[in-house]
């Protein structure tokens, strides 16, 4: 089958190319899916550069979220018990391998694709919405009436999380982003309470003013070190900070005051998704099906797709993601289908 590989195993976007690799064979508990579309994620950039520690069950081929059609099972006799059959249209989350014509994936990580969703939209849901649900509800323990701050507000995970927070009854939703276009998108299209341009605004001071010093109950941070002091400063008493990425680095600058951790009883917790076992991921998949899928079907939740590329234009797709200019998902589609 055709798949995307990286020349030399790691390198820049231009090192990627289409190649032929063996078609995977599903084991018991797995399905073989012919891919129609797959979503790009920032972890893909890190993996391509050799900077992402792969879980042991992940293939070298990139890509964790996809949509497609089931073509087989590792155990045909047991397949009917999992609620899927050959020919079913699905989308799902895998440990890797989605940058290809076929993928094998645990059946418990598959979701039936509703007719209301396109292949492109369905491929943009699994990683982002499951990550957002995990951060907001499972780790952040978000409750109705609380406030939340999403950094990298125009990223796909934050776009998902903002919609989830609204649906869960947030009292206020704040966000940071890097351009006026993104600020306008967040405030006017997604309806956040207030968005801040991190290049020109002192978001921590502004949030303190807006909340009369009370701060926010939960902060979801993908940036890391440069935002850590601000995260502590804006945290409400018994507030929580969920760290999902280190885009700004992992080493704290000199002078960081960790006092708020103590006197505001702030809890900081880091988390990843891809390294979790399939049982944990499966529970999150069930949360997606129960809480989010009906809202996709009735249109109250939306998948924001920035641009769709043909599979063969993967280099351009990665370069666009690297530009940090996007609002929402970048999707690749397989041709000749």
Q: Determine the distance from the C-alpha atom of residue 111 to the mean position of all C-alpha atoms in its chain, rounded to a whole number.
A: 16
**Chain centre distance of CA 246:** 14
CA gap 152, 154 in Å, rounded: 6
* DSSP string across 173-234: EEEEESSHHHHHIIIIIS--SEEEETTT--HHHHHHHHTTT--EEEEEESS-HHHHHHHHHH
3-class secondary structure, 14: helix
pLDDT of residue 324: 87
Q: Which CATH number is correct for 2-125+276-333, 3.90.180.10, 1.20.1740.10, 1.10.2020.10, 3.40.50.970?
A: 3.90.180.10
Q: Residue 325: its pLDDT value, please?
A: 87
100 and 21 in contact (C-beta within 8 Å)?
A: yes
CA proximity to 43, closest of 95, 79, 117, 90: 95
Per-residue pLDDT of the chain (337 residues; tens, 9 = 90+): 999 999 999 999 999 999 999 999 999 999 999 999 999 999 999 999 998 888 888 999 999 999 999 999 998 777 778 889 999 999 999 999 999 999 999 999 999 999 999 999 999 999 999 999 999 999 999 999 999 999 999 999 999 999 999 999 999 999 999 999 999 999 999 999 999 999 999 999 999 999 999 999 999 999 999 999 999 999 999 999 999 999 999 999 999 999 999 999 999 999 888 888 888 898 889 989 888 999 999 999 999 999 999 999 999 999 999 998 888 999 999 985 4
Distance CA 94, CA 57 (A): 10
What values do phi and psi take at 215, rounded to 5?
80, -165
The highest-level CATH class for domain 128-270 is: alpha beta
* CA–CA separation, 278 and 38 (whole Å): 20
Question: In this structure, what token pair is assigned to residue 28?
Answer: 């018991």
Q: Which residues pair with 103 in a beta bridge?
A: 33
Q: What was the pLDDT predicted at 53?
A: 86
Neighbours of 190 (CB within 10 A): 21
- pLDDT confidence of residue 336: 56
CA distances from 147 to 15, 23, 91, 205 (A): 43, 47, 31, 16
87, burial (CB in 10 Å: exposed 0-12, middle 13-18, buried 19+): exposed
DSSP H helices in the chain: 42-48, 76-79, 119-123, 126-133, 156-167, 180-184, 203-210, 225-234, 259-263, 278-287, 293-298, 314-322
Domain boundaries, the chain: 2-125+276-333, 128-270
Look-up: residue for tokens 């950094």?
A: 151
Q: Which residues contact 119 (CB under 8 A, 6 or more apart)?
A: 36, 37, 67, 68, 113, 333
> What is the pLDDT, as a whole number, of residue 163?
97
Residue 78 pLDDT: 74
**Cα–Cα nearest to 239, from 209, 211, 218:** 218
């Amino acid at each position: 089958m055709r798949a995307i590989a990286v020349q030399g195993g790691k390198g820049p976007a231009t090192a990627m190319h289409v190649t032929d690799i063996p078609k995977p064979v599903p084991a018991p508990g797995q399905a073989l899916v012919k891919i129609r579309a797959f979503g790009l994620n920032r972890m893909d950039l890190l993996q391509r550069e050799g900077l992402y520690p792969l879980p042991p069950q992940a293939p070298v081929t990139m890509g964790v979220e996809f949509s497609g059609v089931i073509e087989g099972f590792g155990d045909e006799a047991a397949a009917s018990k999992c609620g899927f059959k050959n020919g079913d249209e699905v989308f799902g989350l895998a440990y890797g391998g989605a940058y290809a014509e076929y993928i094998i994936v645990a059946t418990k990580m598959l979701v039936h694709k509703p007719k209301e969703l396109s292949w492109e939209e369905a491929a943009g849901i699994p990683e982002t919405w499951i990550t957002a649900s995990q951060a907001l509800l499972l780790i952040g323990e978000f409750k109705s009436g609380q406030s939340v701050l999403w950094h990298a507000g125009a990223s796909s995970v934050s776009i998902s999380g903002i919609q989830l927070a609204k649906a869960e009854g947030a009292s206020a939703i704040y966000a940071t982003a890097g351009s006026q276009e993104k600020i306008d998108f967040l405030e006017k299209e997604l309806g956040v309470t207030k968005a801040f341009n991190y290049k020109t605004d002192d978001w921590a001071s502004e949030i303190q003013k807006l909340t009369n010093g009370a701060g926010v109950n939960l902060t979801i941070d993908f940036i890391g070190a440069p935002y850590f002091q601000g995260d502590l400063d804006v945290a409400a008493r018994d507030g929580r900070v969920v760290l999902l990425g280190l885009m700004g680095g992992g080493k704290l600058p000199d002078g960081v005051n960790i006092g708020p951790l103590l006197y505001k009883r702030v809890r900081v917790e880091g988390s990843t998704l891809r390294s979790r076992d399939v049982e944990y991921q499966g529970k999150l998949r069930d949360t997606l099906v129960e809480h989010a899928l009906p809202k996709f079907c009735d249109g109250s939740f939306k998948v924001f797709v920035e641009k769709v590329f043909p599979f063969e234009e993967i280099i351009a797709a990665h370069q666009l993601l690297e530009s940090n200019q996007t609002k929402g998902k970048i999707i690749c589609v397989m041709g000749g289908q």
